[in-house]
Amino acid sequence: MSILEFFSVSPTAFAIFVSILGLLIGSFLNVVIYRLPVMMERDWKQQCEEFLADDDIPSPNEHRERFDLTLPRSRCSKCNQSIAAWDNIPVFSYIILGGKCRHCKTRISFRYPFVELLTAAASVAVAMHFGFSIQALFALVLTWALIALTFIDYDTQLLPDDITLPLLWLGLIISIESVFVGPVTSIIGAVAGYLSLWLVYQVFKLVTGKEGMGFGDFKLLALLGAWLGWQMLPLVILLSSIVGAVIGISLVLIKKHNKDHPIPFGPYLAIAGWVALLYGEAIIDQYLTLTI
């Protein structure tokens, strides 16, 4: 019996495998969450420097250290010591080290193991819901991307095109085989997702003179529309509004957030999209049962 056949007949084994994979992916997502915005900022600065450059003055980028998702190696932000591989094992290294750097004993943020555990838990939920299937494979990819987008947007109020646009196209491509929805439903979902928030943005700007959200939110909802279909968009918007209201009010009440400081909408869209991916049809069916 091959490993694929084993996973297909043993949901528990598949869930265990996915949980371990989720921990590893979560560790990588921590790198993406921190480094991708820095890479974007450096790229913007480089473009500005190249545009304004004097040919007689050497560019400062010539002496800049390579910085991407693979290099340089992870290091302590305090003492700048490289982190050894055995100190970088998801969750377990954090526990063994007591949440502190091995060298300078600076406390390591709990968010690192939290992201790893969250990724593992969400991955197991996907595995248990879809079973060993092509749907589970693509749902895992979407889940991991949404986790990265959630924390990047929370930290920087950015939703990188490097994540949203490839996932948008992937959603359209897999609709050809109707992995989640058919191509017509997917295309309409992408268009409707983008235009719905774009119209809200334009109306809000016309009435208040302010920008209520960023263009990244439009692209994220377009992404979700491509994956889930246009029929699921009202539920996604409703769920994101509820999640946003609950979390936003909670943050203000416990004084963890200034009410005058804008709260990114991307994390709420991502959470709502993930819930709709797994339980959207059940929620809609339950709603129709109660109202009809």
3-state secondary structure of 105: coil
Reported residue count of the chain is 292
What is the reported pLDDT for 264?
A: 86
Helix (H, G, I), strand (E, B) or coil at 217: helix
Q: Which residues contact 133 (CB under 8 A, 6 or more apart)?
A: none
Residues 6+ apart with CB under 8 A from 78: 101, 104, 106
Q: What pLDDT does residue 18 have?
A: 97
pLDDT for 56? 56
Residue ranges of domains in the chain: 1-132, 133-292
| Contact (Cβ atoms closer than 8 angstroms) between residue 157 and residue 216 | no
Cα–Cα distances (Å) from 105 to 73, 77, 85, in that order, read: 19, 12, 17
Burial 257-280 (b: 16+ CB within 10 A, else e): eeeeeebbbbbbbbbbbbbbbbeb
Q: How many helices (H) and strands (E) does the chain have?
A: 10, 0
Residue found by looking up tokens 């092509």 in the block: 134
* Token pair listed for 287: 């709603």
pLDDT tens, per residue, the chain with 292 residues? 678 788 888 889 999 999 999 999 999 999 999 999 999 998 888 888 788 875 555 555 555 678 888 888 888 877 888 888 888 899 999 999 999 998 888 999 999 999 999 999 999 999 999 999 999 999 999 999 999 999 999 999 999 999 999 999 999 999 999 999 999 999 999 999 999 999 988 988 888 888 777 889 999 999 999 999 999 999 999 999 998 888 877 777 776 556 556 678 999 999 999 999 999 999 998 888 887 7
pLDDT at 289: 85
pTM of the model as a whole? 0.91
Tell which residue, 197, 172, 118, has the closest CA to residue 150.
Answer: 118
pLDDT at 60: 56
Question: What confidence score (pLDDT) does residue 55 get?
Answer: 57
